A and B are shown apart, each in its own frame.
Chain A
């Protein structure tokens, strides 16, 4: 599996393109639209989109037009799904449009949004939802079924949890049914489809070359542990006493997909969900749940509903939300993204049960019972440690044929992530250094790490010299996608008011605007302003009149009367020759001087490791000392004047090309 979802080849209709443009305009703003285009299209393919500097709506339409012309609409949508899932409204709208539904603002759309709103407003939603979607998979069986039969999800790097009855055809019948459950067929005929977010449906059995992206179970000993299903489960006549009929199967995959990055260029790994030893069922009545599922073998869906009660055996939880055949094995999660149940059945409709919120009841096995059962089975390697993602991008893009390797810059990346939280005490990151040290590369790196997630605006040296403060504020609105939402920028009424306007009126206006926007769309904030003041050596850097003063105020500097405006939703990245170039007096900040020495050999090995894994290797590259020595050799033979990071990046490109052609095996 290559980690990226196969992109379906199907026509995109004109109405869909119009809706996509509306989504880009409404949810991204100019800054992120430009980021998206930069990621997906070559500069020459931008067409008219490259010339839209003012109107974000026109830019969005031009962007979609350019993407459609280049046949890259689905590529762009996939990238947004991978990077911007934290923006849940964007995710919801994107999925709807790609499924062919219109964003026509009808009552159904509104009802859907109202129903999901409590989830979207959850403080942690953005963090867990993207990961949960990545770990859920459709499960298919080969002969004689040759079809998608259910759903599952990762609970370890190479472990998928699903229902016993999903795999029952591939399990060995036991005399009397009392002994341990055993595998009854080869694991290489069980297929797991991750990232199946949009149609078309994968074919089963999948073709080794072609559109289908999958991983199989290990051929032998694929069944780690399982418990039988309960006779009459979900029916009125179901037993009230359960011994260990928890209807689950834990399957080992042929590859540790949970440890692999979702994107070829590295970055966040797929991860897995942890099984809690305890869930709170007493205080859970009417608790909101979400079930991520592949109903009827369709692309991944989710529905939100409410917990209702325990069944008579106390081992099943009943909830009211929509599922269907094929949803078995789905993950039922609570509002904080914690596993609550393993979905397994519909509760057979009976008059006395009625409907809850207009929906029938469905049921899942309590996940704490499964966790305890697995714990008592004394399985090797169980429990699996909770997922911790320390993975980094090794390339600025996902193109293995033409990668842009990133050598080091771990400090910068860590700083970015730290400042990207609303509670960060520092609001500014300052990167300085000599020419060729990688200051401008920092902009690309910012886009790789935070692009597609956070609203952003990039200012280049010529813009610093010509943008009036008012024009700057107007552009903030356009670039952050706030058109139509921010009130009018306050006027400077008299000349003598200008200092007050710069230090109080304008910052207060922006603070209020960003505060409102962040309440509506928390995932995109803090937003970033990137101030790139890197000019060729010897050229002076000039600032437009009043811009520096405005920046100082926006950064939290106090005015003459010691008044200051706090904007916790705003972050700054300054790139230049020296921190003194910027209005940072008394501003809490993080500084990085790229002129200082760093462990270049270690950074080279780390990048190479990322590239190696992108080729679907899960092991580490052997003999780090040898590769460190190779790094030193590369630096020695690099032409004079070539920046060391650029030389090592070139070496990674060459080595990757060799590995791809088989030379590195």
Chain B
């Protein structure tokens, strides 16, 4: 398996090669350095709130670090990248094609520029904005209500299922149960820990109060299926948003292509997807800040590709930009705007251990097969109950 750094190098190299005025999707000229620096500086100024000169300096620094990494690594594996180089490459990847787009006025925003893969996402937003808005409305921020009821502590993301249910990760739900060390089947919500979901926690003005939780109705016991289902409390001011459709087809993830010329290993061709969730700097580091700027837990739409499907586990990997608060996010297919996965975790560095996962990964609906979670999700979606 490729390392995270090697994948990052490949993606950055590919995106940097998608420049020039000619409008074929293939090949192209390198993206001009001034345009790249300008985009990075705008990103630093806009998303991270840097002053103009500081933003220009940050952009120059990111480009320099990335060029060093690309020049040294050549076509190699990219082992031994420094933190600065990773941060520079990640900033370039986000600015050139893996944006985390905000929602304003109830609508997902356009990518910030047309560089790299952003042209692709600009067309996606232009042609399917309403669909994205509709399905994204079903995704909300899950938060704990702090003592006194005024404060909120973000826990992760959850999305609607069936008539009155929510899907999130088991490791997110763990923060809400009385005894997280007990077997998952025995988990119950801790009445002392109040929590709620906010479906309208976006860049728009403060929404009405969120919806509380009534019960934990299912928690997958298998290590490989990090999934939990919660029931919403009734009696809210407004009905919860409609649940998105679920896509169980293997086709929704991608397909294996035979090796060119009939030799070698098959290659995976992943589908276009977008992750909708609530990224948050739980522990902000220099590199996460450079990528996400002010990741304040508000709703974002992060497009990208499925990059791998695990042969042994019910999991997919993707290259969309995500952060800690994205746990429990919904992975939607671009083709049908239906749910194909439940985002679990990612490649962002742990601030304390400085370790990082190899890729962003999610529970893949199409790969759930005989797991009980598949029956639960299908039953809930069909109205048959959990």
Contacts and interface: CB of A to CB of B under 8 A. Distances in A.
A348 interface: yes
A163 B28 CA distance: 13
A346 B21 contact: yes
A660 interface: no
Interface stretch (B114-122, B292-300, B364-372): B114-122
A511 to B, nearest CB: 41
A327 B123 CA distance: 11
Contacts of A143: 260-261
Nearest to B114: A324
A388 to B, nearest CB: 33
A235 interface: yes
A296 B22 contact: no
A324 B335 contact: no
A10 B336 contact: yes
B344 to A, nearest CB: 25
A13 interface: yes
Interface in A11-55: 11, 13, 15
Nearest to A102: B130
Contact of B122 (A234, A324, A347): A324
Interface in A361-388: 362
A93 interface: no
Given A10-B338, A146-B269, A299-B127, A324 B245 contact: no
Nearest to B261: A143
A325 interface: yes
Nearest to B272: A201
Contacts of A500: none
B372 to A, nearest CB: 25
Main secondary structure of the interface of A (DSSP, over half): loop
A134 interface: no
Contacts of B26: 141, 145, 147, 149-150, 166, 168-169
Count chain A CB atoms within 10 A of each CB in B21, B119, B336 and give the residue with the most: B21
A98 to B, nearest CB: 10
Contacts of B338: 10-11
A203 B255 contact: yes
Nearest to B131: A100
A295 B22 contact: no
B29 to A, nearest CB: 9
Contacts of A163: 22, 24
Interface string A197-223: 001110101000000000000000000
A121 interface: no
A328 B336 contact: no
Interface in A180-207: 199-201, 203, 205
Contacts of A399: none
A345 B131 contact: no
Contact of B21 (A205, A235, A295): A235
A147 B25 contact: yes
Contact of A13 (B20, B114, B134, B334): B134
A296 B123 contact: yes
B124 A298 contact: yes
A193 to B, nearest CB: 14
Given A11-B336, A99-B128, A203-B255, A346 B260 contact: no
A362 B119 CA distance: 15
B25 A345 contact: no
B337 interface: yes
A327 B335 contact: no
A100 B25 contact: no
B129 A101 contact: yes
Count chain B CB atoms within 10 A of each CB in A146, A147, A298, A362 and give the residue with the most: A298
Nearest to B23: A328
A571 interface: no
Interface in B19-62: 20-28
A166 B24 contact: yes
Interface string A221-258: 00000000100011100000000000000000000000
B278 interface: no
A199 B252 CA distance: 13
A653 interface: no
Contacts of B25: 147-150, 296-297, 325-326
Given A11-B338, A15-B134, A200-B336, A324 B24 contact: no
Contact of B24 (A99, A165, A201): A165
A200 B335 contact: yes
Contacts of A348: 21
A424 B345 CA distance: 69
A100 B125 CA distance: 11
Interface string B120-163: 10111001111100100000000000000000000000000000
Interface string B157-190: 0000000000000000000000000000000000
B18 interface: yes
A169 B24 CA distance: 11
Interface in A306-364: 323-329, 343-348, 362
A143 B261 CA distance: 9
Interface in A93-149: 99-102, 141, 143-149
26 contacts: A10-B337, A11-B338, A13-B134, A101-B128, A143-B261, A147-B26, A149-B24, A150-B25, A165-B27, A166-B24, A168-B27, A169-B27, A199-B336, A200-B335, A203-B255, A235-B20, A296-B120, A296-B123, A296-B124, A323-B23, A324-B23, A326-B123, A327-B23, A343-B23, A346-B21, A347-B21
Given A150-B25, A296-B120, A325-B23, 7 more contacts: A99-B131, A101-B130, A101-B131, A233-B22, A324-B114, A326-B25, A345-B23
For the complex of A and B, 10 pairs with smallest distance between CB atoms: A234-B21, A100-B131, A200-B335, A296-B123, A149-B26, A10-B336, A328-B23, A296-B120, A326-B25, A345-B21
Interface of A: 8, 10-11, 13, 15, 99-102, 141, 143-150, 163, 165-166, 168-169, 199-201, 203, 205, 229, 233-235, 295-299, 301, 323-329, 343-348, 362
